[in-house]
Structure 1
Amino acid sequence: MPTDAHAAIPSYEKDFAQFDFMEHGSLDTFDHLGAYRALGPIYTVHFRGEPWVCIGGLEANAMAWRNPDLWDYESALTPFREIMGDRHVTQMDGVPHRQKRRQLKPGFSMSSIGRLIPAIDAVVKRMLGESANKEVSLHDLFMRSLTYANSETVLRAPLSETEVQTFIRFEEEFIVGTIMESSARKAFYERESFVKDKAFVFGYLGQLVQRRLDGEQVEDNFSEVLKLTLEDRGEEVDLQELVSEAYLLLMAGTGNTAKLLNCGLQRVWKDRPWLEALREEVESYQPLSFARGMDAFPKLKATLMEIERMFPAAPVLARVVAQPMEFEGRKLEPGTKVLHMQTLTHFLEEIYEDPYDFKPQRWLENNYPKKAHGTFGGSTHICLGMNLARIHMPIVLANMLKDYAFEATKSPEIQVNFNYGVPQVSDLSGRLVSISRGQ
């Protein structure tokens, strides 16, 4: 989209930052909050060599989620097509997308995941127990725990420790590549180590899917997903489409959930009064405690909401306009690249008082607008793994807070941000100590 097509829209560089984008074309961080205050909910920015339109605030979230058919998701999420194929759920719009979401629903609905809570809890307990009184990276521990939990529940896939590490390495490098410029991403994905991991991951899942197609009976969520996909697609379905569905159940979102837990726990452990209140609340936790929701654990629920608010794993989403549209009186033509700052609302003090302070109590005292919470997106393209993350996180936190203390040896300072391509990263390391053995 030519720059002059955006002439009527305020410019981040000219109208706010007062510099020429030609001199700062590689800029990776922006003061989006300041620009929103100065320019309003829509403005342009030059990002990675191209003109983009930024939209943010409650108005932007309402507009972006109200009509998902305004957006061309396939063009916006090219890296997923490059790795997962053109039948991946992120590559679909309109009716095909809604059909694919229906096929995937048995894998990710709260009811289908909720019945697996005892099994997920057992894996988490086992992994924490094996790590007790050892020096651990919590990010690594969470990634391994969540991968094992998925491999024993939603997609039954027997994985060795080496295989788990390969899946984790592939997932993390795949996601890192998705935020790169196309030529850099191509080189990154062509590295020998990544190609080798990709071949193993797809080979393993390809064999698993083929066994299911050949009649192997396994009771897991993937079996229900596979049944619906075959009913809808029949002979048109190809192996890669089914492999990408299996991959979603096994790995999608594990890295983001691990990062959320890492960042959140650092803040929880620093707030001793809130920590003690949480420990008192989860003392009664049992695996089936969450089967009926989290009403019995209001402080834990508030903590999770505050973690989601402060440390969104995908602060900004790239979009491409699919059909002529208008926002705040500004016309956007098809092909316009848009950065939807869906979590900018998380840091607006008119919505959340003292937004950069970790205050779980705020969720006990206030009812916030639904469209102010953008961690998982919204509408028909809302994050597919949201329910899984909202089962995993309370189970991990309840078990950790109830049974363990943590002696940190590496506790990096977390920088709250909402820039595109700058996910929250926190490698919190230390010793997990069983409370029953004394602190």
Structure 2
Amino acid sequence: MTKHKLPDSPQTQPWLQMLQWALNPLKFLENSARDYGDIFTLNIGFNGRPQVIISNPQGIQEIFTADINKLDSGNPKILERDSGERYNRAFIGGQSVVTFDGDRHKQRRKLLMPPFHGERMRAYGEVINDITQQVTSKWKINEPFSVRSSTQGISFQVILKAVFGLEDGERYDKINQLLTKRLEGGNSILRILLIVFPILQKNLGPLSPWGRLKENQKKIDELIYAEIDERKANLDPSRTDILSLMMTARDENGEAMKDIELRDELMTLLFAGHETTATSLAWAFYWIHYLPEVREKLLNELDSLGENPDPNVIYQLPYLDAVCKETLRIYPPAILAFPRRVLSPIEIMGYQFEPGTMISPCIYLTHHREDIYPEPKQFKPERFLESQFSSSEYLPFGGGNRICLGMAFAKFEMKLVLATILSNWELALADQQPVKPVRRGILISPSNGVKMIVNGKRNPVKLGQDERFLTPTS
């Protein structure tokens, strides 16, 4: 029987639900799933606007395969009503692929896809490896450090060099400084409240939090537009960075992207690809070193490649792939997939949804279903060697027509960074206390950034199953 009302919702005030969503989203989701099952409604949108949350794979499949004339997302006029999307759009802009819907979204995705696949993407392997070596060369033996700070440094430089295509110099240093300042405080309570409560998103001058963010963004934009102008004046067809490839791309009418579109796509790639990769890498290092058997299996696989392995071979390693997949399962980069808006009446999981209803597949809850992933709180890479999961059961990058454009690039970067560091450094957790997940902006991050210690450089000389590592003599 079709139900014409929204699924059940917690019987608490919308402002309280938004506060719970802001401060402890995983507990809020798990409690709601315990009480209401696979589909429920939370008042977590603009002014407590209802949003239907679905963690049932069949329901998610219905969303991902729905006609875009019935269910789609991206319309700027709709998205700007949501406080979190308003926060993101204030810096991403309104001319990015994530803000388009329908045919316009499909055409922009087609235009942007080539740089993220095939040999063009693999060409970034050397850049990723060099940056990883550069960041880790600054580590000090026996001195505790936050591995997330290092992975953030790596992913940030990869964005600036492989995506923005910036060369070392004054402009690189200025953008680096401004973007670093912009990204600081992502886990602060104030930044989280800015995302959730739109009343705080007001420019009250340079001393106000929103005013400081907007002024920072203005300076970043000036530098980005200067870089675009300089590229246009000095076209270099040999460049392979993503900005250069976007500038040479042409749509079906032979039209190039406008400057504002290039700027907005760059900012989208920065915000979608920087924090997510850095956080996922930090979680991976935690699990690999928290569970000795995982580390041992992974090192045996990496050492079997010999010196200077081909990045394409690294990418295809089965156990490394399983470790990355399990990392993205247990704490996915995004809690929810991109929300869909009902355009015309549609039935999903026995509910008839009317136009204007917002529906979000819940990545986190789906990844923690006992019926799909037995012992879901346990880190078990083997589950990905033993079983195949559908795109509605495993969806760390979303799905359907909104699947993350940079998915292949992110997986490639994650595997190369892990392989490079684990092959060259002997690391250990600073303590064995379990790391807790905490909200960092829109992501779920390890509570202390994962404190680790460098014991020395690895020297994987194979003597049977033995392995040696070097420590400095001074």
Partner residue, 1:64: 63
Aligned residue for 1:27, secondary structure, equals helix
Check 1:190–1:227 CA distance in 2 against 1; reply closer, same or farther (3 A cut): farther
Check 1:206–1:281 CA distance in 2 against 1; reply closer, same or farther (3 A cut): same
Shift of 1:372: 0.7
Check 1:321–1:171 CA distance in 2 against 1; reply closer, same or farther (3 A cut): farther
Check 1:414–1:352 CA distance in 2 against 1; reply closer, same or farther (3 A cut): same
Shift of 1:138: 1.7
C-alpha distance in structure 1 between counterparts of 2:175 and 2:292, whole Å: 38
Deviations 1:232-264 (A, max 9, x none): 5748x5422111233345564111111111122
RMSD of aligned alpha carbons: 3.2
Partner AA of 1:106 in structure 2: P
Q: Would the aligned equivalents of 1:33 and 1:344 in 2 still touch at CA under 8 Å?
A: yes
State which drifts further: 402-411 or 249-258: 402-411
C-alpha distance in structure 1 between counterparts of 2:440 and 2:355, whole Å: 24
Check 1:380–1:293 CA distance in 2 against 1; reply closer, same or farther (3 A cut): farther
Q: Would the aligned equivalents of 1:117 and 1:287 in 2 still touch at CA under 8 Å?
A: no
Structure 2 unmatched ranges of 5 or more: 80-84, 459-468
Deviations 1:326-354 (A, max 9, x none): 11221111211333213322101111110
Partner residue, 1:429: 451
Partner residue, 1:16: none
Check 1:229–1:327 CA distance in 2 against 1; reply closer, same or farther (3 A cut): same
Structure 1 unmatched ranges of 5 or more: 1-5, 14-18
Aligned residue for 1:372, secondary structure, equals coil
Partner residue, 1:258: 278
Shift of 1:402: 1.3
Shift of 1:23: 8.5
Say whether residues 1:280 and 2:291 are aligned partners.
Answer: no
Taking the TM superposition and a 5 Å limit, the aligned residue runs for 1:139-158 are 139-158=148-167
Between structures 1 and 2, the one with greater helix share: 1
Select 1:205's aligned residue among 206, 221, 224.
224
Check 1:238–1:191 CA distance in 2 against 1; reply closer, same or farther (3 A cut): same
Q: Would the aligned equivalents of 1:344 and 1:418 in 2 still touch at CA under 8 Å?
A: no
Select 1:101's aligned residue among 105, 109, 114.
109
C-alpha distance in structure 2 between counterparts of 1:183 and 1:145, whole Å: 35
Q: Would the aligned equivalents of 2:64 and 2:399 in 1 still touch at CA under 8 Å?
A: yes
Shift of 1:68: 6.3
Shift of 1:292: 4.9
Say whether residues 1:322 and 2:343 are aligned partners.
Answer: yes
Q: What is the number of residues matched between the two proteins?
A: 427
Deviations 1:62-84 (A, max 9, x none): 02211362123222344343323
C-alpha distance in structure 2 between counterparts of 1:417 and 1:173, whole Å: 13
State which drifts further: 362-371 or 422-431: 422-431
Partner residue, 1:181: 197
Say whether residues 1:307 and 2:300 are aligned partners.
Answer: no
C-alpha distance in structure 2 between counterparts of 1:152 and 1:47, whole Å: 37
Question: Which TM-score applies when normalising by structure 1?
Answer: 0.86
Structure 1 runs, 4 residues or longer, greater than 6 Å off: 417-420
C-alpha distance in structure 1 between counterparts of 2:43 and 2:55, whole Å: 16
> What's the % identity of the aligned pairs?
21
Q: Would the aligned equivalents of 2:347 and 2:353 in 1 still touch at CA under 8 Å?
A: yes
Select 2:93's aligned residue among 85, 96, 100.
85
Partner residue, 1:43: 40
Partner residue, 2:20: 27
State which drifts further: 22-31 or 261-270: 22-31
Check 1:259–1:241 CA distance in 2 against 1; reply closer, same or farther (3 A cut): same
Say whether residues 1:119 and 2:127 are aligned partners.
Answer: yes
Partner AA of 2:347 in structure 1: E
Aligned residue for 1:152, secondary structure, equals helix
Deviations 1:352-383 (A, max 9, x none): 11000011122222222232111100122111
Partner AA of 1:120 in structure 2: I
Question: Which TM-score applies when normalising by structure 2?
Answer: 0.80
Aligned residue for 1:203, secondary structure, equals helix
